[in-house]
Amino acid sequence: MKRQLGRIHIVDLVAVVLAALLAVLAYTYLFRRTPVPRPVDPLLGAEISVVFRPDTEWKRGFPQIGKSVFLEEYLEADVRSAEDRGETRVVRLVVRGRDTQKPEALTLFRTGVRRGSVLRMNDLDNEVQVEVVDVTKAADAH
């Protein structure tokens, strides 16, 4: 009878040790990993050049220099320049920094912004589809 009790205690001890090891591994896997970088982070402060075809008269004046616009309704950018070049309108935008973006822009903006991307650019009254011509990261812009 004593031997059986001894075996039960050893089995219980091994089970507890394995459970503790599994708990430590699970905690390390779930909570100690490096955070996934947000797609919006490299864009903060970047300069983005976009182009669109102003097929109606109101688009020739959109957007106004110095005003802010949104890309995909989340990411806010300031209009640095806007000019007509033949049949197209070229707009240079500067994406605002983290402290001036809406909190939802930092988490919900998941669109890749690279040369050739087609995005929606809007303000409170207007919206156009634009094609990205150039992206200069914040570190490269200065």
Please state whether the predicted TM-score (pTM) of the whole model is above 0.85. no
DSSP assignments along 7-68, one per residue: HHHHHHHHHHHHHHHHHHHHHHHHHSSPPPPPTTGGGTT-EEEEEE---SHHHHT-SPTT-E
The reported pLDDT for the residue numbered 84 is 94
User: In this structure, which amino acid lies at residue 118?
Assistant: V
- Tell me the domain boundaries of the chain: 1-33, 41-141
User: In this structure, which amino acid lies at residue 72?
Assistant: E
Q: Which residue has the higher pLDDT, 104 or 32?
A: 104
CA dist 27 and 16 (Å) reads: 16
The pLDDT tens digits of the residues spanning 32-90 come to: 666 655 667 888 999 999 999 999 999 999 999 999 999 999 999 999 999 999 999 99
